[in-house]
Amino acid sequence: MIHRNTDAAGQLQDLRDLIAKGVNAIVFNPNDPDALNPALDEAKAAGIKTISVDAYVNHPDTYNLYNNQVEYAKIGAKWLFDKIGGKGTVYYMRGFAGHPADTDRDIGFKEVLKDYPNIKVLPNEDGVATGWDPATTTQLINDFIASGQYDTINGIWTSGMDSQVVDAIKAAGKKFVPIVGADLGAFVSQLLNTTDYPGLEGVAVTNTAAVGGAGVNLALKLLNGEAVQTDPSAPKPNTVLLKPVGADNTSDAGRAMLKSWQVDGLDPLWPLGLQIEGYTSYTPQQAVACKGPGE
């Protein structure tokens, strides 16, 4: 295992270090769809199975296992645009510029936006990058509120940096607008907490954190020579594409689903989807109890 935040050059080196150790399979979370191909070619030449999780790579011999991020964005965008009556202004907060998941989410957002000509997007149709960083997100939304622009919008689409936005709006004493976020524990708790967050309306879209565990399971299947069912409709070959769902706090069914997702003891900034049917076998309690690198 190698665990660190790094750029594509660093990931290339990490992959090559693992190849040099003579591993049988490598499960990795890419930060670029193409830059890692030289090392993935080297892994193939060494007979090593490679599995990309959480985002895809454009490598014909690497398996991709990830959430359908185009659909993820579309679910939240459609809910939001319908919620505000198909017209108005939306603040568009993206993730990490250049990341495959962010690129796919932007595609999905814009596909839905084309069907709503009376929706205006701030700061522009390409949105603003949060880097999926809580501190950056908090600074962006605070600056947005201080500029007075918050008072002119009708909704916010976030790429998973959601509870920070809710907290900033509350701290500023502003009225909530409908918000799109992910199935992160903190955001789901806010959506269900009508006492502390009165008037908050939103939808949480699933982006399971279990892709790492599922990727290990997929690697073992490949090493054991088992058949792996891939998605023929996926845009990339050798892809296991997971289907996201959305749950809002404005309907009884949505609130019931949000409540069913909650997991005691989980870090509030983690997604609540801790299991993937057919690919994981642990319980949510076991996942919470498991220690990560450096813990």
Lowest average pLDDT, out of 131-140, 196-205, 249-258, 279-288, goes to: 279-288
Q: At 165, is the pLDDT very low, low, confident or very high (cuts 50, 70, 90)?
A: very high
pLDDT of residue 87: 97
User: pLDDT-derived band of residue 277, with 50, 70 and 90 as boundaries?
Assistant: confident
Q: Is the pLDDT of residue 117 over 90?
A: yes
Work out the mean pLDDT of the chain and round it to a whole number. 95
Which DSSP state fits 243? P
Pick the CATH number of 69-205 from 2.120.10.30, 3.10.20.30, 3.40.50.2300, 3.40.630.30: 3.40.50.2300
Is residue 59 classed exposed, middle or buried when 0-12, 13-18 and 19+ CB atoms within 10 A define those classes?
Answer: buried
Alpha helix (H) residue ranges in the chain: 8-20, 37-45, 69-83, 100-113, 134-146, 163-171, 185-192, 211-223, 252-261, 284-289
pTM: 0.88
- What does the pLDDT look like over 127-163, one tens digit per residue? 999 999 999 999 999 999 999 999 999 999 999 999 9
Which residue ranges make up each domain of the chain? Answer: 69-205
Under the banding of pLDDT at 50, 70 and 90, the label for residue 295 is confident
Per-residue pLDDT tens over the stretch 56-111:
999 999 999 999 999 999 999 999 999 999 999 999 999 999 888 999 999 999 99
Band (pLDDT 50/70/90 cuts) for residue 5 is confident
Of 18, 3, 27, residue with least CA distance to 215:
27
